[in-house]
């Protein structure tokens, strides 16, 4: 059941920032795919919301711009645009892939990248890819303008560093050199419209049979999407052979068990996370069959 | 075979345009002046005595026009198709969480939804019975104290001497299989409006109703009105699958009671949660099979014990489980059979009719057993079915000889096998995947968890995807069989411009019956389908033709429409022959014209109607069709259960990720003998939908209960297959000859659904070398050999 609320539709970021400042009962409406379902469920996150500020009429909020060194994605860009963007496909293929398996086509036409990580559900599918790419975000308010790594922004499930008067305006991605490769895997119960049981993104570089850089981020199986720094540290400098990958996968299981404790799903998810991690690292190092 | 003009050709559905453009009117699209809404009041318990209901917190509220409960019911307070155990409004007890004690009625539904929690119901909680296997324990809580125990029904079937059969067997396999609750998942949740018409006229019901005549009967009983004063009109249906029967009868009765009390139209509409909460489900079955067979693969004996969880109310359990007892041994000759099927009460959601109706469960068990036997004897699944499968003249478990129709079991199986190259693939997979069983190697202790793997347990990417192919076959009795009276009527009224009204007492539930019946009438009258206008379902016009269930509409309704059209045609032939002074035999009907080969004269169909009218012949009629005799002996389960049968075989080709338990369904080949295919598009639709639901049953769909409460309260948790789940469905029809219905067109709707889960289960065995006994075979089942459920019912996102 949805109570009555007011919807405002600013045309510029400045206007939106003015509207949200000093109105703690206002929330941003992007694709609405979390907001509206949240209203329906009577979610505590939206219980006090009386005003929605619709950012869909602000062109900068859904623009994707590319320079030599960066791709900047407006936080209000729907997934469909990201998935189809040639620059994203070329330079950030894991992001394109992870966004392409979100919900259904209809959901992807509405749901935005900003909404995904601001909602910060454990199963937000774009997050692991953004984390291995070390995405930064730009956060603006009427009186401030700051940038921070996405990893720092995400605090705990459904909680970020966003302040009530702030809007996330951009996702900033820095291009990598050619030596990097990566993989993303989403495991859902079915193929269409699947909430992730677990996701993993791996991204790294192998030089002379040595793993010289590696980034591993998980989603759904950890409380929020996160990089597994302790595991990355252990792998960097290791020979790129089957044994080190197996050790790493098992280590990941131990780390996650430590982070989450034994949840009802653990008998399934923990072993499977190790399998999937091993397979993704294997493919990264040895290539696809 | 007869050459057809319209039958078997692709014909556009009559309702396609409106549905595709969103202009079709469903029950909730209708509003009436002064209309009120009814909102349910429930009790947060699964089993409890109701001590007192205190309405004082809402009684004076201006949003509440009326409070309706059992005290407002003028006549019968409890209803049910066999046992009248289900209250329209509960007043003594709550026996399952969906139960409703009262309804708040008012203009603003949103306000009522907020107010309903303010009604205070004092209750005394009773022990909750959730395990059907404990239902018959002497100390089990009694769900309905008016009955001696929790038994709903028991069907025995006794044939030959099972013990002797086991003694003569070289091998005996014993196995237990279980299946889950299934939600129908009709896209349109329940909606109904009751409109009071005043003392003289009674009440009109407009709703999303599967069986308008049954609804009429229930509402009339509850209101104490004659049938003629309850008029039920069906709105466009957004799916039913067997689900909008009892549930809609009860909602219609609630709305009607409120409409009479307030003298205003009252609408009830459910959202998805409320729909899942209150509506009945497909029965979970617990099935124990003991099968004896010889070295040569010949089945000797079967002993089957099945317990069906009927949930809180008897509903259709006695009918559903009867089909089970007839078909439990599958399409195979077995000399000696001992079957007991029980349905029992629990405090779980109640179970009733759902597409398949007592067949998907035993097929899940018995078609896996056939593969197990093949494996044990080193045969292929095809061989074992060839040895035992029904042929013309075979005798079923109930002692019925199959000799009045083409017994096409081996034809459908062979066609499916050839089409998929089944045997070769099956054998190759069986060899390639022999190593997987070791990998899965489940702990004996089902609770033992291994959270951290060892290196040798990790599976390399090139070893992780395993192919599997699986086959399942079935026979299915058409229509109601010895379950009930099996007759239908159809009203046909030809107009003087050559167009015609048609209406059968069976209802359009989305299956495309309107189009099929128009095809039948058009074929006989030589009309194009667009000349026939199918009327809206209305109990004041259409004669009661029994329920629209059991895949019987094409067969039984087709028979009645054919009869009506033939009657009109005869009258027209008579008149035209007389007018032209030619022999009746020379008259033909085609392409909207009527001609005689004798005088080479042709007139339009409309003109032929004019001639008939001039000859004072009636251009309207009610056609009738009656099923042949069937029989059933209750004590022994022997008899001619159904007057004819259909046969089907489906083959599933899948890939299993043995590291994650994911199953991808690549292709399902469905070969069915539905008799003559009248409506090709409709038939294909039945296959695509039925296969998808069948596969959904096997892999994703499950309603699980925790203390009687449902966990999967919406479609984010209850996982229906999406359009992406099955890559390819190939439908093939073998049109076996039969004398019944319209040109031997029989049944297809349910046969297409009942095989999918079994075919997938057999394919999973083929991919993993491991047999799974508990449906659905989901991620956890494959990797852990059990299900995992969250500890509480709360969602993380709240
Ligand atoms: C059927 C369905 C399937 C789904 N499947 C998936 C899936 O497979 N994977 C997945 O990850 N998610 C899935 N989701 C969840 C959802 O679609 C995503 O999280 C989506 O990215 C949310 O984006 P949105 O634009 O719709 O956010 P909204 O609902 O508009 O907003 C979400 C939250 O973020 C805030 N917000 C949004 N934009 C800004 C901004 N620029 N600045 C400040 N605050 C902002 C809002 O105020 C709100 O609190 C699914 C949802 C549905 C309904």
Exposed/middle/buried for residue A233 (C-beta within 10 Å: 0-12, 13-18, 19+): exposed
Query: Cα B169 from chain centroid?
Result: 36
Rounded (to 5) percent helix, strand, coil in chain A: 40, 25, 35
**In B128-283, which ranges are continuous DSSP H helix?**
162-167, 212-223, 246-262, 272-278
CA B504/CA B499 separation, integer angstroms: 17
Digit-coded pLDDT (tens) for B627-662: 999 999 999 999 999 999 999 999 999 999 999 999
* Ligand 1 closest atom vs CA A45: 49
Give the separation between CA B460 and CA A242, rounded to whole angstroms: 9
| Contact by Cβ (8 Å): B715, B275 | no
**C-alpha torsion angle, residues A75, A76, A78, A82 (rounded to 10):** -30
Which carries the bigger pLDDT value, residue B439 or residue B127?
Answer: B127
Would you say residue B261 has pLDDT above 90?
A: yes
Q: What is the pLDDT of residue B448?
A: 73
Beta-carbon separation of A264 and B716 below 8 A = no
Return the pLDDT at A1: 54
**Mean of per-residue pLDDT scores for chain B:** 96
Q: What is the pLDDT of residue A138?
A: 98
User: Residue A114: CB within 6 Å of ligand 1?
Assistant: yes
Pairing of strands A145-149, B285-293: unpaired
**Residue-wise DSSP of B560-600:** HHHHHHHHHHHHHHHHHHHHHT--GGGEEEETTEEEETTT-
* Ligand 1 centroid to residue A280 C-alpha, Å: 27
- pLDDT for B446 equals 65
What is d(CA B128, CA B144) in angstroms, rounded to the nearest whole number?
13
Say if pTM beats, i.e. exceeds, 0.95: yes
The dihedrals phi and psi of B644, each to the nearest 5 degrees, come to -160, 170
* Angle in degrees, 0-180, between the axes of helices A266-286 and A242-260, rounded to the nearest 10: 150
Rounded CA separation B86/B190 (Å): 18
| Distance, first Cα to last Cα, chain A | 50
Q: Shortest CA distance to A205 belongs to which of A244, A228, A252, A238?
A: A238
φ, ψ of residue B232 in degrees (nearest 5) = -110, 125
Task: Report pLDDT digits (tens) over B182-239.
Answer: 999 999 999 999 999 998 999 999 999 999 999 999 999 999 999 999 999 999 999 9
The best mutation among A21, A53, A63, A111 to test binding of ligand 1, ranked by most ligand atoms within 8 Å of the C-beta, falls on A111
pLDDT tens for B530-589 read 999 999 999 999 999 999 999 999 999 999 999 999 999 999 999 999 999 999 999 999
Give the nearest partner residue to B451 out of A121, A257, A278, using CB atoms: A257
Collect all residues with Cβ–Cβ distance below 8 Å to A177 and sequence separation of at least 6: none
CA atoms within 13 A on the CB side of B520: 34
In the 8-state DSSP scheme, what is residue B356? T
Q: How far is CA A149 from CA A138, A142, B744, in A?
A: 9, 21, 70
Task: Note whether B464 contacts A: Cβ–Cβ < 8 A.
Answer: yes
Q: How do A167-174 and A70-74 pair as beta strands? A: antiparallel
Determine how many CB atoms are found less than 10 A away from the CB of residue B738: 23
Mean local confidence (pLDDT), A160-176: 97
Answer whether A268 sits within 8 Å of B450, measured CB to CB: no
- For ligand 1, whether the C-beta of A108 sits within 6 Å is no
Domains and CATH numbers, chain B: 16-23+487-626 (3.30.365.10), 31-126+190-269 (3.30.365.10), 285-480+635-784 (3.30.365.10)
Query: Mean pLDDT across the stretch B669-680?
Result: 97
Tell me, yes or no, if B273 comes closer than 8 A to chain A by beta carbon: no
- For an interface test with A, the pick among B39, B108, B458 (most A C-beta atoms closer than 10 Å) comes out as B458
| Amino acid B2: pLDDT | 65
Q: Which two tokens stand for residue B764?
A: 């999973």
Q: Do A272 and B783 touch (CB under 8 A)?
A: yes
Instruction: Give the tokens for residue B184.
Output: 């129908």
Pick the atom of ligand 1 nearest to A119's CA.
Answer: 33
* Whole-complex ipTM: 0.96
Angle at which helices B513-525 and B680-699 cross, to 10°: 160
Tell me, yes or no, if B778 comes closer than 8 A to chain A by beta carbon: yes
What are the residue ranges of helices labelled H in B155-237?
A: 162-167, 212-223
Cis peptide before B601 (omega within 30 of 0): no
Residue A35 near ligand 1, beta carbon < 6 Å: yes
Per-residue model confidence as pLDDT tens digits over A181-200: 999 999 999 999 999 999 99
pLDDT at B681: 94
Element (H, E) at B503: strand B500-504
Q: Is the minimum distance from the CB of A10 to ligand 1 under 6 angstroms?
A: no
Give A176-245 as a DSSP string: --TT-EEEEEEEESSSSS--EEEEEEEEEEEETTEEEEEEEEEESSSSS-EE-HHHHHHHTTSB-SHHHH
Q: What is the pLDDT of residues A198-224, one digit of tens each?
A: 999 999 999 999 999 999 999 999 999
CB-neighbour burial class of residue B211 (10 A; exposed 0-12, middle 13-18, buried 19+): buried
Q: Given an 8 Å threshold on Cβ–Cβ distance, is B450 in contact with A271?
A: yes
Report the pLDDT averaged over residues B424-444: 91
Contact criterion met (CB < 8 Å) for A247 and B455: yes
Q: What is the pLDDT of residue A41?
A: 84
Task: Quote the mean pLDDT of chain A.
Answer: 96
Percentage with pLDDT > 70 across chain B: 99
Contact A282 B459 (CB under 8 A): no
Sheet containing B48-54: give its strands across.
B93-94, B48-54, B120-125
Sheet with B285-293: strands ordered across: B151-159, B336-345, B299-311, B285-293, B171-178
Segment (H or E) for B16: helix B16-21
pLDDT of residue B444: 64
d(CA B273, CA B721): 19
- Assess B662–A contact: CB distance below 8 Å, yes or no: yes
The edge-to-edge listing of strands for the beta sheet with A64-66 is A64-66, A70-74, A167-174, A136-140, A145-149
Q: Tokens 């109930």 map to which residue?
A: B398
Position B14 confidence tier, pLDDT thresholds 50, 70, 90? confident
pLDDT of A273 higher than 90? yes
A262 neighbourhood in chain B, CB within 8 Å = 449, 451
Pairing of strands B203-207, B230-234: parallel
Rounded Cα gap, residues B256 and B220, in angstroms: 10
Q: Which pLDDT score, from 0 to 100, does residue B755 have?
A: 98
Of B417, B415, B437, B472, the residue nearest B755 (C-alpha): B472
How many Å lie between the centroid of ligand 1 and the Cα of residue A88?
20
Query: Which alpha helices (H) appear in B103-236, and where do they start and end?
Result: 109-115, 162-167, 212-223
pLDDT at B337: 98
Confidence (pLDDT) at A2:
64
What whole-number distance in Å separates Cα of residue B433 and Cα of residue B429?
A: 6
Q: Which of B629, B672, B635, B630 is nearest to B650 (CA)?
A: B672
pLDDT tens sequence across B495-517: 999 999 999 999 999 999 999 99
Hey, whose CA ends up nearest to atom 14 of ligand 1? A103
pLDDT band at A288 (very low <50, low <70, confident <90, very high): confident
Contact partners, residue B107, CB within 8 Å, separation at least 6? B35, B36, B37, B63, B65
Dihedral over alpha carbons B411, B414, B416, B422 (to 10 degrees) = 170
For residues B289 and B340, the answer to whether their CB atoms sit within 8 Å is no
| Coil, strand or helix at B641 | coil
pLDDT score, position B377: 98
Residue B321 has pLDDT above 60, yes or no: yes
Res B794: pLDDT: 72
Kindly report, residue by residue over B586-641, the tens digit of the pLDDT. Answer: 999 999 999 999 999 999 999 999 999 999 999 999 999 999 999 999 999 999 99
Mention every residue, 6+ apart, whose C-beta is less than 8 A from residue B130: B46, B346, B347, B348, B705, B707, B708
- In chain B, what percentage of residues exceed pLDDT 90? 96
B455 touches chain A (CB under 8 A): yes
- Which chain A residues are Cβ-neighbours of B719 within 8 angstroms? 189-190
Distance CA B222, CA A211 (A): 76
Cβ(B194)–Cβ(B252) below 8 Å: yes
Calpha distance A100→B608 (Å, rounded): 61
* CB neighbour list of residue B254: distance below 8 Å, 6 or more residues apart: B38, B68, B88, B89, B100, B103, B268
B755: closest CA among B328, B351, B359, B332? Answer: B359
């Amino acid at each position: 059941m949805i109570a009555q609320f007011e919807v405002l539709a600013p045309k510029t970021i400045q206007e939106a920032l003015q509207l949200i400042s000093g109105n703690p009962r206002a929330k941003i409406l992007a694709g609405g795919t979390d907001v509206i379902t949240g209203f329906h469920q009577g979610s505590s996150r939206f219980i006090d919301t009386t005003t929605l500020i619709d950012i869909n009429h602000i062109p900068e909020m859904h623009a994707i711009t590319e320079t030599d060194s960066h791709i900047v994605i407006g936080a209000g860009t729907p997934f469909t645009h990201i998935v189809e963007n040639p620059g994203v496909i070329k330079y950030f293929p894991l992001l394109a892939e992870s966004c392409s398996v979100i919900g259904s086509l209809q959901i992807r036409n509405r749901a935005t990248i900003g909404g995904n990580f601001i909602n910060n559900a454990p199963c937000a599918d774009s997050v692991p890819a953004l984390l291995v790419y070390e995405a930064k975000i730009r956060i603006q308010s009427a009186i401030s303008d700051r940038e921070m790594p996405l990893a720092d922004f995400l605090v705990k499930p459904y909680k970020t560093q966003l302040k009530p008067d702030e809007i996330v305006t951009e996702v900033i991605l820095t291009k990598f050199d050619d030596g990097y490769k990566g993989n993303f895997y989403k495991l859902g119960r079915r193929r269409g419209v699947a909430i992730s049981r677990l996701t993993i993104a791996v991204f790294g570089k192998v030089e002379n049979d040595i793993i010289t850089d590696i980034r591993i981020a998980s989603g759904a199986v950890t409380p929020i999407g996160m990089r597994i720094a302790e595991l990355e540290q252990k792998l960097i400098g290791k020979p790129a052979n089957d044994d080190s990958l197996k050790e790493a996968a098992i280590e990941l299981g131990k780390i996650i068990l430590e982070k989450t404790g034994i949840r009802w799903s653990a008998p399934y998810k923990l072993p499977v996370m190790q399998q999937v991690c091993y397979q993704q690292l294997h493919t990264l190092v040895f290539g696809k069959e | 075979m007869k050459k057809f003009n319209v039958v078997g050709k692709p014909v556009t559905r009559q309702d396609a345009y409106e549905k595709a453009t969103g202009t079709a009117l469903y029950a909730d699209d209708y509003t009436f002046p002064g209309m009120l809404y009814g909102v349910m009041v429930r009790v947060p318990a699964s089993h409890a005595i109701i001590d007192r209901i205190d309405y004082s917190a809402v009684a004076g509220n201006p949003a509440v026009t009326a409070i309706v409960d059992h005290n407002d019911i003028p006549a019968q307070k409890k209803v049910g198709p066999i046992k009248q155990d289900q209250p329209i409004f509960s007043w003594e007890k709550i026996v399952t969480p969906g139960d409703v004690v009262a309804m708040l009625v008012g203009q603003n539904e949103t306000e009522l939804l907020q107010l309903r929690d303010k009604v205070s119901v004092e209750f005394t909680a009773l022990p909750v019975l959730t395990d059907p296997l404990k239902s018959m324990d002497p100390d089990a809580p009694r769900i309905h104290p008016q009955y001696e125990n929790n038994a709903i029904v028991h069907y025995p079937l006794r044939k030959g001497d099972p013990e002797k059969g086991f003694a003569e067997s070289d091998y005996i396999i014993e196995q237990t299989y279980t299946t889950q609750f299934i939600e129908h998942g009709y896209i349109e949740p329940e909606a109904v409006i009751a409109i009071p018409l005043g003392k003289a006229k009674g009440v009109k019901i407009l709703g999303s109703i599967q069986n308008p005549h049954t609804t009429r009967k229930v509402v009339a009983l509850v209101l104490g009105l004659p049938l003629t004063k309850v008029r039920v009109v069906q709105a466009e249906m957004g799916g039913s699958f067997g689900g909008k029967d009892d549930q809609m009868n009860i909602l219609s009765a609630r709305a009607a009671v409120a409409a009479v009390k307030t003298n205003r139209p009252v609408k009830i509409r459910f959202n998805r949660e409320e729909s899942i909460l209150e509506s009945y489900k497909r029965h979970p079955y617990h099935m124990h099979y003991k099968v004896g067979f010889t070295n040569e693969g010949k089945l000797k004996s079967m002993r089957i014990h099945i317990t069906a969880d009927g949930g809180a109310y008897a509903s259709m359990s006695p009918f559903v489980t009867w089909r089970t007892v007839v078909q439990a041994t599958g399409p195979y000759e077995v000399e000696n059979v001992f079957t007991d099927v029980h349905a029992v009460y629990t405090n779980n959601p109640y179970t009733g009719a759902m597409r398949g109706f007592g067949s998907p469960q035993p097929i899940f068990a018995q078609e896996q057993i056939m593969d197990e036997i093949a494996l044990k004897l080193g045969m292929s699944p095809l061989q074992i079915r060839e040895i035992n499968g029904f042929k013309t003249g075979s005798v079923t478990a109930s002692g019925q000889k199959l000799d009045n129709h083409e017994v096409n079991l081996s034809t459908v199986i062979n066609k499916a096998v050839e089409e998929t190259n089944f045997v070769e693939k099956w054998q190759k997979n069986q060899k390639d995947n022999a190593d997987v069983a070791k990998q899965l190697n489940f702990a004996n202790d089902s609770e033992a968890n291994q959270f951290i793997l060892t290196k040798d347990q990790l599976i390399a990417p090139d070893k992780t995807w395993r192919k599997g192919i699986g086959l399942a076959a079935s026979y299915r009795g058409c229509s109601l069989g010895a379950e009930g009276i099996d007759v239908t009527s159809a009203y046909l009224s030809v107009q003087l411009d050559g167009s015609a009204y048609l209406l059968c007492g069976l209802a359009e539930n989305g299956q495309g019956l309107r189009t099929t019946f128009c095809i039948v009438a058009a074929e006989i009258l030589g009309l194009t389908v667009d000349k026939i206008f199918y009327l809206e379902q209305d109990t004041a016009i259409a004669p009661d033709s029994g329920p629209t269930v059991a895949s019987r509409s094409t067969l039984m309704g087709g028979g009645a429409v054919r009869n009506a059209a033939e009657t009109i045609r005869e009258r027209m032939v008579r008149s035209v022959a007389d007018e032209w002074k030619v022999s009746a035999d020379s008259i033909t009907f085609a392409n909207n014209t009527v001609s005689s080969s004798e005088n080479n004269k042709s007139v339009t169909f409309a003109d032929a109607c004019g001639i008939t009218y001039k000859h004072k012949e009636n251009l309207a009629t009610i056609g009738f069709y009656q099923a042949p005799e069937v029989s059933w002996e209750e004590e022994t389960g022997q008899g001619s259960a159904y007057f004819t049968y259909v046969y089907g075989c489906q083959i599933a080709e899948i890939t299993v990720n043995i590291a994650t338990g994911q199953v991808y369904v690549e292709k399902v080949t469905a070969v069915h003998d539905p008799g003559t295919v009248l409506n090709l598009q409709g038939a294909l639709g039945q296959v695509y939908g039925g296969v998808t639901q069948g596969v959904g049953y096997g892999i994703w769909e499950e309603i699980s209960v925790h203390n009687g409460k449902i966990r999967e309260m919406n479609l984010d948790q209850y996982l229906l297959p999406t359009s992406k789940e099955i890559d390819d469905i190939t439908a093939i029809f073998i049109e076996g000859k039969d004398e019944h219905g319209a040109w031997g067109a029989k049944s297809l709707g349910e046969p297409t659904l009942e095989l999918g889960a079994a075919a997938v289960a057999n394919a999973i065995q083929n991919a993993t070398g491991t047999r799974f006994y508990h449906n659905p075979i989901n991620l956890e089942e494959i990797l852990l050999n059990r299900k995992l459920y969250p500890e509480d019912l709360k969602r993380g996102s709240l």
